[in-house]
Chains A and B, each alone.
Chain A
């Protein structure tokens, strides 16, 4: 009994005299940031944070006047210093644990990412699951603050765009952790999604505030890295090809020409005819490597299962033979697209963003030890072979095309 009281008293002393609360942060002391932007300005790091104003959620009756977020900026030699710089300009501590997206300005990305963002991994607040985006040809803060979606918070707008990549793989959703995985692996360079601010047509003439409404964001395309330095961009279709090779395809559309005879051609003017679109239901990719003498052959096998979405050609899909032709045409298009993307990457950048190095490593671990330092050189000159097999498993509500 006495001991129990002793222990209790010690507990109480611990509780009362040391009154805890060292790390306590009342919610009204925190500025919850959802997006962080990183830039280089005059050889210094500039951080832009999008901080939510929590009051918008409590006063839902108010008619959306005033913005739901505030933007704050801090500058410093390191990320940490820049964060601290904010404290003397903004009334709340930037709370970064709920960051959804990190946007890097192009200039920073070109000078090397990992070198400068050590703090993002060291600090307990930062989440490793945050997505990364590169502001193409712009500073990060320039693309922040655009909200042409319905979400009240701009961050959610961007986040939803990233989530839509699942439906349209013309971009890539890299988060910090997958970036790091590829960064450390010799046979696989990272590739990161891009974000661009684009002018858009103003249709709604009644709207009064046109300021931000004239712009919209687009995340089509991707940025290629060698280790941690940005070296160039890929357009949407090439990014899609990369996604195929990375086995990232869960959904997405393939549009391809379909001819009933050799004379038919895609019309050069007007809307194209003789084309078809299918929706990918499942794509499975297997990368392989073959060493033929001292030549390295990159091989890819892709199996696509797709549902017919649109058919603008006189092809009877209720016919086994025609549907096979359709499948072959689809496969052919994918093959061509991917081939051109690989060729482009090989010639222009010479970095293996497709993960063939990993395939090499898995298949020839002994040789890999010797060549891993200059894998990119080998990749550059390697031959590429691709084999795509499509099977169309659904044809929609109608069978013969409407034309």
Chain B
């Protein structure tokens, strides 16, 4: 870390003065957040993403409150037929448990990383990614089922057309985050396995964990406000 800073200062000697001043102002020893920069940046990203999902859920509330046609009952829309009976929201409940479990394995992966148990950390990271993949798979199944039943972003056979736009927008954007997270975690897992963090420390596993737990956090609110309300 210190070595990198020095080499940057050496190189800065050849820069124009205005650029040197600008960089110096932004990089002088002033520190508000006493965490590594990667973690601070991930938190800034997460806070901005909170606003994205907060806006989506607010828009959904406004759409649902202003809909004059009856809002489709999620318990019926997302019901699964098991034999003779119809179980409301079964797939969604399983998806919720899968994502919560992936958060648990992620937390354990971070712990093993900091304890320098490389193989175990990589194992739990892979497990987390696989659970994430399972989640995305079930989401794809859900989308296919609804689209076959005639649900579209502009219309559906069960009531207010706003239902489709809210559903596809919110779960689609969340699913995109899960997919990106699976790729992210797979990358981190392979780096852990290669021993890339033995020298620089395992902070990057924790940072990836922050992202993954955030994806789970968003699902908590989607599950409550979209599916259960």
Instruction: Tell me if chain B binds chain A.
Output: no
